[in-house]
Structure 1
């Protein structure tokens, strides 16, 4: 319905290049994550997906931290599908996000409950609601930006130990 923000010649973010985030660049990673959260909370699901994908790559696409980022990518993808009016896609991406957040929680004998200031259990609960009733989140209007989810992501960095993620 809407052009891809980065790759389409009609995309509003065409030409923007995401800088690579190297290992050990926690400040840069946090900036990207905070930006992705802001994009997500304002209904820019495709853009938040792209931002979290850069983190996923920087985390090596493997391990608990990468799985957590991939879960956020899938949650954002569910938002994209909701904007397209595709209930099956919403359900599929929400289901994959649940699996990824479950994998994170299973890592390190259940010690991995928070990552990047967000709770795996809280995210799983919201993904479960999306998975169970994807039709409630469909919004295929002509409007460029619409928030389809009835929640916002609010990281709580102060309550998370550095060892949890």
Structure 2
């Protein structure tokens, strides 16, 4: 079963970056994002860049999803629920990278940190987070921690191939 796309007209990077397993996307001249001009982002869950992060995450491009969401996180108001939410998603991306690397302890650490941030959002009226993801932040935290705890096998068929490690899909595509 294929995973849905939120932005089907936008092409995925030519590889999914894992640290030490290929050219750094931004710093290396062979990187998929070397000298690519950053896109203009807005601090909104309705932005194309937020959806792009979801597409990347859902399809196993965890480092790249982190980069997409970090741009929004950087301009979100400090101390805002949106900024905490984005930080939680960025930590989920780090969890995905560590799972792909086979590093259980760091994967669990990132998953727990993400879970703590996402669960803090449960007590406030932030239904727009659930709507944007198609899943509540609390359930997302539970699923991410369970995935890291179980350390799913991540068959690396070809270096650089994206491999989704989470059983859930973000977004309402």
TM-score range relative to shorter protein? 0.7 to 0.9
Which whole-Å CA distance do the structure 2 matches of 1:131 and 1:148 have between them? 9
> Runs of 5+ in structure 1 lacking a partner?
157-165
Which whole-Å CA distance do the structure 2 matches of 1:137 and 1:59 have between them? 35
Which of the residues 85, 105, 117 maps onto 2:132?
117
Secondary structure at the aligned position of 1:105 is classed as coil
Q: Does 1:150 align with 2:164?
A: no
Q: Does 1:96 align with 2:113?
A: yes
The structure richer in helix per residue is 1
CA RMSD between the two structures? 2.3
1:62 Cα shift?
A: 2.5
Aligned 8 A contact 2:95 2:148 in 1: no
1:113 Cα shift?
A: 4.4
Spell out the pairing of 1:27-106 with structure 2 (5 A cutoff).
30-106=47-123
1:19 Cα shift?
A: 3.0
1:48 Cα shift?
A: 0.3
Aligned 8 A contact 2:41 2:47 in 1: no
Which of the residues 11, 26, 29 maps onto 1:9?
29
1:124 Cα shift?
A: 1.4
The 3 A distance-change label for structure 1 pair 93 and 139 is farther
Which TM-score applies when normalising by structure 1? 0.77
Question: Does 1 or 2 have the higher relative contact order (CA < 8 Å, sep 6+)?
Answer: 2
Spell out, residue by residue over 1:40-82, the C-alpha distance to the aligned partner (whole angstroms, 9 max, x if none).
1111111000000011012134311100011110001111112
The 3 A distance-change label for structure 1 pair 6 and 47 is same
> Runs of 5+ in structure 2 lacking a partner?
1-20
Which TM-score applies when normalising by structure 2? 0.74
Which whole-Å CA distance do the structure 2 matches of 1:47 and 1:17 have between them? 15
Corresponding residue for residue 127 of structure 1: 144
Aligned length: 149
Corresponding residue for residue 161 of structure 1: none
